[in-house]
Chain A
Amino acid sequence: MILRPQLQDLKNIGYYSGKILIGIGLTMLVPMVVGLLFAEINPALDFLIGAEIALIVGLILTKLCFTEKDLNWMQGMVVVSLSWLATMLVAAIPLYMSGHWGSYLDACFETMSGFTTTGLTLVQDLDHLSYAHNLWRHLGPFIGGQGIVVIALCFFVKGVSGAFKMYVGEGRDERVLPNVIDSSRFIWLVSIVYLILSTLVLGLVGIANGMKTANAFFHGACIFMAAFDTAGFAPQSQNILYYHSVLFEVITMVIMILGAMNFNLHYRIWTGDRREIWKNIESRALFIIIIVIFLITLIGLSQVGSYPRALVMFRKGFYQVISAHTTTGYMTIYARQFIDDWGALALAGLICAMAFGGSSCSTAGGIKMLRLGVIIKALQQDLKRIILPERAVVEQKIHHLKELFLEDKQVRAALLITVAYLALYAIGALVGMFYGYPFLDSLFESTSAAANVGLSCGITVPGMPVGLKLTYIVQMWAGRLEFMSVFALIGFFVAAIRGK
């Protein structure tokens, strides 16, 4: 029997969603101040309006739904999925008011793409966008990558055991430290330390490359936020091609890889345990798969003669593979070149890289290396069972932060999420084909959206069909939250209608 949600369920969900909206409203004050600093009056007003709306709605929700009761699993999951939708709607207000997005839906697409660290964009005339709006585009991934709920846990939720339910609901099933709030704070500490260092380095490189000082550091901060949070937004329409700099490409590649690493691994490195990188199943899988996919891509590129020299092919190919695998989506080529210049094999390599994604408990999307590692180990175990005598006891170990025996429960969970991702990639591709796009183009763009990558082969433009925009929004949302919270929200609505 399905139970209809009670008033207390609604109160808990409303209260915590309200808290998160207040957080988003306060965050909008950052681009507002930046707008004022750069004498951008109308953009500053856009953010003040956005912040006021978020604060009004958030305050009303927290007041009407005030509760001191803790969250249960269902409530925690629903809070997360609803908060992400509410954030999309509120965060899109200042973007839409700028006039650089064709419709409110386009602005919503942009915020969902930013907060989920995807990086697909529908902005028009990006090269004339204000500093304030550009900062908001990049601040979205920085907040969403670490987790909207994670930030709320740091500042607004204290000592609540229900915090863990929201933390898990946001696609993080691992704690860095025993306490979930301490874990959230560590995630933010790592991110802010890297932000300061990378902005400094990228800013100096920008100055050496001939950029104006203020612009160089602004770009440095924006590029770091989008690279570390594997989002792929850039302040100019040419993306990374704008900088015409090999050094810039190398630094962004390092940041992308750091972003795709498990925060637990960051913790180990920070605490001096560097050997974990070489032993960990995730970092090993990431390393091996990058090499395999890069070789496939190189063969594909040389088949069609995309680039005149090997070194050039290496530079372009490697950057795009790293960008796809870390699910960042930074590009040093134009979108149509994937289709016109790269050939089917190289494109298939990139699609695989995007689909597999980065590490769990990182800012990257996709299936994730840990799940892939678990599935491969399970396959090894089954093969051993077939080959070895029937009486032999076959045990499979994996090393992920510590030595673990592979359990059926783990394999089942990994397979379930992998199948869900594959289904999501396929559904998006089918919708793309329904609107008349070729198979490979549709699969590329769909995988990019669902794995939160942001590489585009040219389908994602302001004039694309509304149905496809909505499909990609849902894909980005479900892919970022790793399905469970989305399923919980669907279950919640079903229970509200059919429950007793």
Chain B
Amino acid sequence: MTQERFRLVISTVLIVGVAASATLIGAGFLLALAIGWQGSVLSASPATAIATTDFSNLPSRLAALEPLAITQLGLVVLLATPVARVAASVVGFALEGDRLYAAVTLAVLVVLLTSIFILR
């Protein structure tokens, strides 16, 4: 993989992550302005009130098209974007034949995943 192509891949990962999260956060936010943070598009009665900072049960709340859940999914995608970028960099450096930086980047990825999934 050439330097040029490597850069293109990394910037594409970043653009896709940002665009997807901005779309979800924007849509969720506009919906919330229309029907409230505790509302739901599909259900006429208000959803069970949960704290807006509660990210649990995301799939089922997404299925009910809750503005809060859509915004939260956007935030999760946003948080995942730098992780995806680091993961893509590991592959990129490896394909470039740069073992030193493939190893450095892999170490960063391990620390990142450890902090996200283990240190709570």
Q: Do A and B come from one complex?
A: no
